[in-house]
């Protein structure tokens, strides 16, 4: 019986290490989400703050990225796919100050080829307003 337990010990230790790693990652994510939740997305954000909120949504809550009807129409007219827009949201930069339009601040997320305009509805929800090729 003791030999059997000794054989199991490395597997149990491995499982515990994985569990601890998962726990640390979950704790890190919770802390990040808590810090993002404290950001007032209804006010004007600096580009770094806006990028941080956008990255958090993209990486952890991609289902909370939505498109307005206008955005879908413009994307279709401009031969842009959802994947193109999501790539911009993932890798683009916010270079300009936000514009206040229709009750919310709008941010231009840009790459060398495409610009996407987004607005935050909640700390965990972003709406694509429009997009175009540069």
Residues whose CB falls within 8 Å of the CB of residue 26, separated by 6 or more in sequence, listed in order: none
Please measure the distance between the N-terminal and C-terminal CA atoms of the chain and give it in whole angstroms.
70
In a domain, 23, yes or no: no
Least confident of 17-21, 54-58, 60-64, 130-134: 17-21
**Which tens digits make up the pLDDT trace of 73-125?**
999 999 999 999 999 999 999 999 999 999 999 999 999 999 999 999 988 89
Distance CA 91, CA 87 (A): 6
Question: Does residue 13 sit within a domain?
Answer: no
Domain that holds residue 122: 39-133
Q: Is residue 4 part of a domain?
A: no
How many structural domains comprise the chain? 1
pLDDT of residue 35: 55
Residues across the chain: 134
Q: How far is CA 33 from CA 37, 43, 54, 55, in A?
A: 6, 18, 12, 11
Question: Is the pLDDT score of 69 beyond 90?
Answer: yes
What integer pLDDT is reported at residue 50 of this predicted model?
94
pTM of this prediction?
Answer: 0.74
Matching residue, tokens 């149990």: 12
CATH number of the domain bearing residue 93: 3.30.2310.40
């Amino acid at each position: 019986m003791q030999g059997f337990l000794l054989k199991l010990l490395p597997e149990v230790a491995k499982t515990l290490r994985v569990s601890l790693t998962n726990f640390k990652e979950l704790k890190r994510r919770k802390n990040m989400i808590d810090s993002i939740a404290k950001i007032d997305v209804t006010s004007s954000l600096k580009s770094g703050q806006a990028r941080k909120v956008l990255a958090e949504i993209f990486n952890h809550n991609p289902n909370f990225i939505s498109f307005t009807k206008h955005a879908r129409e413009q994307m279709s007219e401009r031969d842009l796919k959802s994947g193109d827009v999501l790539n911009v949201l993932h890798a683009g930069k916010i270079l300009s100050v936000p514009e206040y339009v229709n009750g919310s601040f709008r941010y231009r997320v840009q790459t060398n080829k495409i610009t996407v305009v987004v607005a935050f509805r909640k700390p965990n929800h972003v709406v694509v307003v429009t997009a175009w090729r540069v």
